[in-house]
Amino acid sequence: AKEGIGTQDILEAIVKQVSPPKGLVDSPLRALVFDSHYDAYKGVIAYVRIVDGQLRQGERLAMMASGSTAEILEAGYFHPRLTSAGILTTGEVGYVATGFKNVKDCRVGDTMTVPNALGHIEVVPGYKPAKPMVFAGLYPVDSSDYPELRDALDRLKLNDASLFYEPETSNALGFGFRCGFLGLLHMEIIQERLEREYNLEILATAPSVEYHVTKVGGEVIEVANPSDMPSFGEIEKIEEPMMDISIFTPSRYIGTIMDLVKSRRGVYKDLKYIEAERVLLTYGMPLAELIIDFYDQLKSRTQGYASLDYNFAGYQSSDLVKLDILVNAVPVDALSLILHRESAYHQGRALVEKLRSLIPRQLFEVPIQAAIGSRVVARETVKAVRKDVLAKCYGGDISRKRKLLEKQKEGKKRMKVVGSVEIPQEAFMAVLSLGDE
């Protein structure tokens, strides 16, 4: 392929052996949008496959799912650059400059037609709107950068209709956005683009997934942020998203992969030998366990040989609890987690131990607690910075020293009531690195 050897023969063989696309040239226009991007001069440029009918430059078009209409500014082929032709007909693949100002008006998978045909033709099957699966909070490190972060997300949304975001406020982190992503890779790309293209310093909270919570009265709500979880007494059951995962790996790594998946609440389904030394392992696993560090651990334990594929399998009821982190008796919403009850104690213990080393010492004792509801499951204390008030006493009566110590103790007690604790950024990243140890 690099030298172009045999390319012409392959193309001729495709023409002879692959049957041409089926469609009706005289029928109203039906075209499937399989990709799109935003151009500053031509608006949204949609990549389409014409299923029925013809598409001409200058005509009006309509999107069947969104209902948006526009005039076709340009139509043509990939050659390999965009080459204007003025017309696309049945079976052809090309591009259409729609003039839309927002990608959400021309979503991938939507059916393009003419306004007169709306309601009279069927959509091309297979269209499903993109649904975010992974959620995280994005906050500017410097609170004055909030307007710049909002503008940057607005611009990214022009090219990425699957990006979801809404403003949110955190007591610990200030103003930011709750963002929804298709997966971890999508989340990492958005973060990287915000930092590299828009020169923003951002802080991302630990990724979470969307849970279906059934309340005692029968009402079902969707919870993507742990801080929005109802109190324990109001909940009848919590359902979490499950994934069917497929792992291709050399057979010598079967044991270590099984151990890894079992530790992440994976349920064994099947094992097939593809070749003598290569196997396919199939498991069911909660998405919440998959999104934090699983892929890195898989690559690390198999020296990079294993590959992972996963598909959404549905929602399943699980014994889940909300783990709150309290710093100086104040809940920190950005550190809250939704975990399986079995792992809540160990995760809580590991998190408070890590936070003790990250939160700087104050002039008063700072208790760090992990709690499930009203029950504290783990506690660590950041010791107070203590001034040596006895330094000026060179001997003398013990009552004088005791009086100075009591006065210091009263002052620290008073300071603890009115004092606030600054939580460094590293503390919020501690949630992500819990699995490394």
CATH of the domain at 405: 3.30.70.2570
Whether residue 298 is found in the same domain as residue 365: no
**Residue 302 counted as domain residue:** yes
Q: Is residue 428 located within the same domain as residue 355?
A: yes
**CB 31, CB 121: distance < 8 Å:** no
**What is the Cα–Cα distance from 252 to 303, expressed in whole angstroms?**
11
369 & 408 share domain: yes
Q: How many CB atoms lie within 10 A of CB 404?
A: 14
Residues 250 and 332 occupy one common structural domain: no
258-304 per-position pLDDT tens digit: 999 999 899 999 999 988 889 999 999 999 888 877 888 899 999 99
Residues 397 and 428 in one domain: yes
CB-based contacts of 69, cutoff 8 Å, min separation 6: 60, 61, 62, 63, 115
In the prediction, which pLDDT does 430 show?
A: 66
CA distance 356 to 367: 9
For residue 128, tell me if it sits in a domain: no
pLDDT digits (tens, 9 = 90+) for 379-400: 998 887 766 666 677 667 778 7
d(C-alpha 111, C-alpha 55), whole Å: 13
pLDDT at res. 418: 46
What whole-number distance in Å separates Cα of residue 33 and Cα of residue 106? 8
Q: Does one domain contain both 337 and 290?
A: no
Point out the domain boundary residue: 318, 353, 386.
Answer: 318
Statement to judge: residues 101 and 60 lie in one domain: yes
Which 3 state secondary structure label does DSSP give 86? coil
From 318, 334, 366, give the residue that closes a domain.
Answer: 318
Q: What end-to-end distance do the CA atoms of the chain give, in Å? A: 46
Assess if residue 342 is contained within a domain.
Answer: yes
Strands (E), 148-234: 164-170, 174-181, 202-204, 208-209, 211-215, 220-223
Residue 112 lies in a domain: yes
Q: How many domains does the chain have?
A: 4
Range of the domain at 404: 323-433
Q: In what order do the strands lie in the sheet with 30-39?
A: 69-71, 60-63, 111-113, 30-39, 43-52, 93-97, 74-78, 82-84
Tokens for 97? 């400059």
Note whether residue 179 is domain-resident: yes
Residues 177, 167: Cα–Cα separation, whole Å:
4
Looking at residue 175, which CATH number applies to its domain? 3.30.70.870
Distance between CA atoms of residues 90 and 93, nearest Å: 9
- Secondary structure of 374-419 in the HEC alphabet? CEEEEEEEECCCCCCCCCCCCCCCHHHHHHHHHHHHHHHHHHHHHC
* Structural contact between residues 325 and 336, judged by C-beta atoms closer than 8 angstroms: yes
Low-confidence ranges of the chain (pLDDT < 70): 1, 127, 129, 386-391, 394-395, 411-437
Nearest Cα residue to 290 out of 244, 333, 252: 244
Instruction: Say yes or no: 328 and 399 in one domain.
Output: yes
pLDDT at 420: 64
Same domain, 429 and 328: yes
Statement: the pTM of the whole predicted model exceeds 0.85: no
Same domain as 290, residue 378: no
